[in-house]
Amino acid sequence: MSLREKKAAKKKAEMIRSALSIIEEKGYHATTMEDIASKLLMTKGSVYYYFKDKQDLLFQSQKMLLTQCITNIEEIRAKDLDISEKLRKIMVVHIEYLITERTGFAMGSKPEQFFSGDQLKGILQLRDQYSKHIDDILQEGIAEDVFTAVDIKIVRNIILGAMNWVIEWYSPTGVKDKTELAESIADYLLRILIKDTYKVERGMIR
Protein backbone atom coordinates (compact mmCIF):
# COMPACT_ATOMS: atom_id res chain seq x y z
CA MET A 1 0.00 0.00 0.00
CA SER A 2 1.40 3.39 -1.02
CA LEU A 3 1.68 6.31 1.40
CA ARG A 4 -1.23 8.00 -0.36
CA GLU A 5 -3.38 4.88 0.00
CA LYS A 6 -2.44 4.58 3.67
CA LYS A 7 -3.47 8.19 4.30
CA ALA A 8 -6.77 7.64 2.48
CA ALA A 9 -7.44 4.46 4.48
CA LYS A 10 -6.64 6.26 7.73
CA LYS A 11 -8.98 9.12 6.86
CA LYS A 12 -11.78 6.72 5.99
CA ALA A 13 -11.27 4.78 9.23
CA GLU A 14 -11.50 8.03 11.21
CA MET A 15 -14.69 8.93 9.35
CA ILE A 16 -16.20 5.54 10.14
CA ARG A 17 -15.38 5.81 13.85
CA SER A 18 -16.88 9.27 14.06
CA ALA A 19 -19.99 8.20 12.15
CA LEU A 20 -20.47 5.18 14.40
CA SER A 21 -20.41 7.40 17.46
CA ILE A 22 -23.46 9.33 16.24
CA ILE A 23 -25.21 6.09 15.25
CA GLU A 24 -24.56 4.72 18.74
CA GLU A 25 -25.93 7.91 20.28
CA LYS A 26 -29.11 8.20 18.19
CA GLY A 27 -29.66 4.58 17.19
CA TYR A 28 -29.16 3.05 13.75
CA HIS A 29 -32.68 3.59 12.43
CA ALA A 30 -33.01 7.13 13.80
CA THR A 31 -29.69 8.32 12.35
CA THR A 32 -29.79 9.93 8.93
CA MET A 33 -27.04 10.62 6.42
CA GLU A 34 -27.55 14.29 7.24
CA ASP A 35 -26.73 13.52 10.88
CA ILE A 36 -23.60 11.68 9.81
CA ALA A 37 -22.52 14.48 7.48
CA SER A 38 -23.02 17.02 10.28
CA LYS A 39 -20.96 14.91 12.67
CA LEU A 40 -18.17 14.65 10.09
CA LEU A 41 -18.38 18.37 9.26
CA MET A 42 -18.91 17.43 5.62
CA THR A 43 -21.61 17.95 3.03
CA LYS A 44 -23.98 15.05 2.48
CA GLY A 45 -22.65 14.78 -1.07
CA SER A 46 -19.09 14.36 0.22
CA VAL A 47 -20.21 11.56 2.55
CA TYR A 48 -21.88 9.81 -0.38
CA TYR A 49 -18.52 9.86 -2.15
CA TYR A 50 -17.23 7.43 0.47
CA PHE A 51 -20.39 5.51 1.36
CA LYS A 52 -23.40 4.62 -0.77
CA ASP A 53 -25.71 4.89 2.21
CA LYS A 54 -25.92 4.27 5.94
CA GLN A 55 -26.05 0.51 5.38
CA ASP A 56 -22.86 0.62 3.32
CA LEU A 57 -21.12 2.65 6.02
CA LEU A 58 -22.00 0.07 8.65
CA PHE A 59 -20.91 -2.77 6.37
CA GLN A 60 -17.59 -1.09 5.64
CA SER A 61 -17.06 -0.53 9.37
CA GLN A 62 -17.48 -4.23 10.11
CA LYS A 63 -15.31 -5.21 7.19
CA MET A 64 -12.59 -2.84 8.41
CA LEU A 65 -12.69 -4.18 11.98
CA LEU A 66 -12.69 -7.84 11.01
CA THR A 67 -9.96 -7.39 8.42
CA GLN A 68 -7.77 -5.74 11.04
CA CYS A 69 -8.48 -8.61 13.46
CA ILE A 70 -7.28 -11.07 10.82
CA THR A 71 -4.18 -8.97 10.15
CA ASN A 72 -3.42 -8.88 13.88
CA ILE A 73 -3.67 -12.62 14.31
CA GLU A 74 -1.66 -13.36 11.16
CA GLU A 75 1.15 -11.09 12.35
CA ILE A 76 1.27 -12.83 15.73
CA ARG A 77 1.18 -16.29 14.19
CA ALA A 78 4.20 -15.35 12.08
CA LYS A 79 6.28 -14.55 15.18
CA ASP A 80 8.79 -16.98 16.62
CA LEU A 81 6.98 -17.61 19.88
CA ASP A 82 6.11 -20.62 22.01
CA ILE A 83 2.59 -21.80 21.09
CA SER A 84 1.17 -20.91 24.52
CA GLU A 85 2.68 -17.43 24.42
CA LYS A 86 1.46 -17.02 20.87
CA LEU A 87 -2.13 -17.79 21.88
CA ARG A 88 -1.82 -15.55 24.93
CA LYS A 89 -0.64 -12.65 22.78
CA ILE A 90 -3.47 -13.27 20.30
CA MET A 91 -5.97 -13.07 23.17
CA VAL A 92 -4.45 -9.91 24.62
CA VAL A 93 -4.36 -8.11 21.27
CA HIS A 94 -7.91 -9.27 20.48
CA ILE A 95 -9.31 -7.91 23.74
CA GLU A 96 -7.38 -4.63 23.53
CA TYR A 97 -8.65 -4.07 20.00
CA LEU A 98 -12.22 -4.90 21.03
CA ILE A 99 -12.09 -2.31 23.79
CA THR A 100 -10.45 0.29 21.56
CA GLU A 101 -13.11 -0.19 18.86
CA ARG A 102 -15.89 -0.96 21.29
CA THR A 103 -18.65 0.93 19.49
CA GLY A 104 -18.05 -0.76 16.15
CA PHE A 105 -17.83 -4.25 17.58
CA ALA A 106 -20.93 -3.76 19.72
CA MET A 107 -22.93 -2.76 16.65
CA GLY A 108 -21.69 -5.79 14.72
CA SER A 109 -22.26 -8.38 17.43
CA LYS A 110 -25.36 -9.69 15.64
CA PRO A 111 -24.71 -9.07 11.92
CA GLU A 112 -27.96 -10.70 10.83
CA GLN A 113 -29.82 -7.75 12.38
CA PHE A 114 -28.30 -5.35 9.86
CA PHE A 115 -27.04 -7.39 6.93
CA SER A 116 -28.37 -9.88 4.43
CA GLY A 117 -27.36 -11.37 1.10
CA ASP A 118 -23.79 -10.78 -0.04
CA GLN A 119 -23.05 -8.38 2.80
CA LEU A 120 -23.96 -10.92 5.46
CA LYS A 121 -22.08 -13.61 3.59
CA GLY A 122 -18.98 -11.39 3.44
CA ILE A 123 -19.07 -10.64 7.18
CA LEU A 124 -19.56 -14.28 8.10
CA GLN A 125 -16.69 -15.33 5.83
CA LEU A 126 -14.35 -12.91 7.61
CA ARG A 127 -15.51 -14.21 10.98
CA ASP A 128 -14.94 -17.79 9.83
CA GLN A 129 -11.48 -16.86 8.60
CA TYR A 130 -10.58 -15.51 12.02
CA SER A 131 -12.07 -18.54 13.78
CA LYS A 132 -10.01 -20.82 11.53
CA HIS A 133 -6.84 -19.16 12.82
CA ILE A 134 -7.90 -19.88 16.41
CA ASP A 135 -8.71 -23.49 15.48
CA ASP A 136 -5.28 -23.91 13.89
CA ILE A 137 -3.52 -22.52 16.97
CA LEU A 138 -5.44 -24.89 19.23
CA GLN A 139 -4.62 -27.83 16.98
CA GLU A 140 -0.94 -26.90 16.94
CA GLY A 141 -0.87 -26.68 20.73
CA ILE A 142 -2.48 -30.10 21.07
CA ALA A 143 -0.06 -31.60 18.54
CA GLU A 144 2.89 -30.15 20.46
CA ASP A 145 1.51 -31.66 23.69
CA VAL A 146 1.22 -28.20 25.25
CA PHE A 147 -2.57 -28.03 25.26
CA THR A 148 -4.92 -30.66 26.59
CA ALA A 149 -6.83 -32.56 23.91
CA VAL A 150 -10.15 -30.75 23.66
CA ASP A 151 -13.10 -30.33 21.34
CA ILE A 152 -11.60 -27.50 19.30
CA LYS A 153 -14.89 -25.99 18.14
CA ILE A 154 -16.34 -25.88 21.66
CA VAL A 155 -13.19 -24.42 23.23
CA ARG A 156 -12.74 -21.89 20.43
CA ASN A 157 -16.31 -20.69 20.98
CA ILE A 158 -15.72 -20.49 24.75
CA ILE A 159 -12.59 -18.40 24.19
CA LEU A 160 -14.16 -16.08 21.61
CA GLY A 161 -17.35 -15.76 23.64
CA ALA A 162 -15.46 -14.82 26.80
CA MET A 163 -13.29 -12.29 24.99
CA ASN A 164 -16.07 -10.71 22.95
CA TRP A 165 -18.33 -10.31 25.98
CA VAL A 166 -15.81 -7.87 27.45
CA ILE A 167 -17.37 -5.00 25.49
CA GLU A 168 -20.59 -5.51 27.47
CA TRP A 169 -19.04 -4.91 30.88
CA TYR A 170 -15.66 -3.21 30.50
CA SER A 171 -15.41 0.18 32.20
CA PRO A 172 -12.58 2.61 31.48
CA THR A 173 -12.84 3.73 35.12
CA GLY A 174 -12.22 0.20 36.41
CA VAL A 175 -9.24 -0.85 38.54
CA LYS A 176 -7.39 -2.37 35.56
CA ASP A 177 -6.61 -0.61 32.30
CA LYS A 178 -7.40 -2.41 29.05
CA THR A 179 -3.99 -4.10 28.80
CA GLU A 180 -4.00 -5.35 32.38
CA LEU A 181 -7.53 -6.62 31.93
CA ALA A 182 -6.68 -8.32 28.63
CA GLU A 183 -3.67 -10.04 30.19
CA SER A 184 -5.71 -11.28 33.16
CA ILE A 185 -8.45 -12.70 30.93
CA ALA A 186 -5.88 -14.35 28.66
CA ASP A 187 -4.21 -16.00 31.64
CA TYR A 188 -7.52 -17.36 32.94
CA LEU A 189 -8.52 -18.71 29.52
CA LEU A 190 -5.16 -20.39 29.01
CA ARG A 191 -5.73 -22.41 32.18
CA ILE A 192 -8.44 -24.28 30.28
CA LEU A 193 -5.86 -25.50 27.80
CA ILE A 194 -2.32 -25.79 29.14
CA LYS A 195 -1.33 -29.21 30.44
CA ASP A 196 -0.06 -29.48 34.02
CA THR A 197 3.07 -31.27 32.79
CA TYR A 198 3.89 -28.29 30.59
CA LYS A 199 3.26 -25.89 33.48
CA VAL A 200 5.68 -27.83 35.66
CA GLU A 201 8.34 -27.88 32.93
CA ARG A 202 8.09 -24.09 32.56
CA GLY A 203 7.97 -23.45 36.32
CA MET A 204 4.40 -22.17 36.10
CA ILE A 205 3.41 -24.55 38.93
CA ARG A 206 5.42 -26.73 41.32
pLDDT tens-digit profile of 116-163?
999 999 999 999 999 999 999 999 999 999 999 999 999 999 999 999
177: left (phi > 0), else alpha (psi -120 to 50), else beta? beta
- Provide the 10 A C-beta neighbour count for residue 143: 11
pLDDT single digits (tens) 154-200: 999 999 999 999 999 999 888 889 999 999 999 999 998 998 765 54
- Judge whether residue 205 has pLDDT over 60: no
- Provide the 10 A C-beta neighbour count for residue 104: 22
Q: Write phi, then psi, for 147 (nearest 5 degrees).
A: -100, 145
Cα 132 to the center of its chain, rounded Å: 14
| Integer Cα distance of 20 and 15 in angstroms | 9
Domains (ranges, CATH) in the chain? Answer: 1-51 (1.10.10.60), 54-201 (1.10.357.10)
Which whole-number Å values give the CA distances from 20 to 4, 27, 127, 156, 181, in the listed order? 24, 10, 20, 29, 25
Residue 100, helix vs strand vs coil: helix
Q: Write phi, then psi, for 194 (nearest 5 degrees).
A: -70, 130
Rounded mean pLDDT, 19-48: 92
More reliable by pLDDT, 158 or 10: 158
Q: Write phi, then psi, for 78 (nearest 5 degrees).
A: -80, -10
- Judge whether residue 65 has pLDDT over 60: yes
| Integer Cα distance of 158 and 164 in angstroms | 10
User: In this prediction, what percent of the chain has a pLDDT beyond 70?
Assistant: 95
- Judge whether residue 70 has pLDDT over 90: yes
